[in-house]
Amino acid sequence: MQNPMPAFPLPLRSGDTEPVINLQELFTEIYDIASYDLKIDYRNWEVIPALSEADTIWANAWLRDRQLRD
């Protein structure tokens, strides 16, 4: 994703302090812990539905920068 996922306050019961949930941080941590970069072959992936031309260029560059694609 080109833009980070938003953080948001999690509504709880009245009077409780609402914790801020950082979606980007959670996603990144789960991705790293699960070692998805080792489980997913990013060299031969097809996105359904297809990305726009601009998003395809961005995704390919992002993957190459991380040595996940040739």
Q: What is the mean pLDDT of residues 1-22?
A: 91
Bridge partners of residue 22, in order along the sequence: 7
Predicted local distance difference test score (pLDDT) of residue 29: 92
Instruction: State the DSSP H helix or E strand holding residue 9, giving kind and residue range, or none if neither.
Output: strand 7-9
At 17-64, the pLDDT tens digits run 999 999 999 998 998 898 877 777 777 777 889 899 999 899 889 889
Predicted local distance difference test score (pLDDT) of residue 7: 95
**Look-up of token digits 């080792």:** 38
Confidence (pTM): 0.58
Q: Is 54 left (phi over 0), alpha (psi -120 to 50) or beta?
A: alpha
First to last CA, the chain: 20
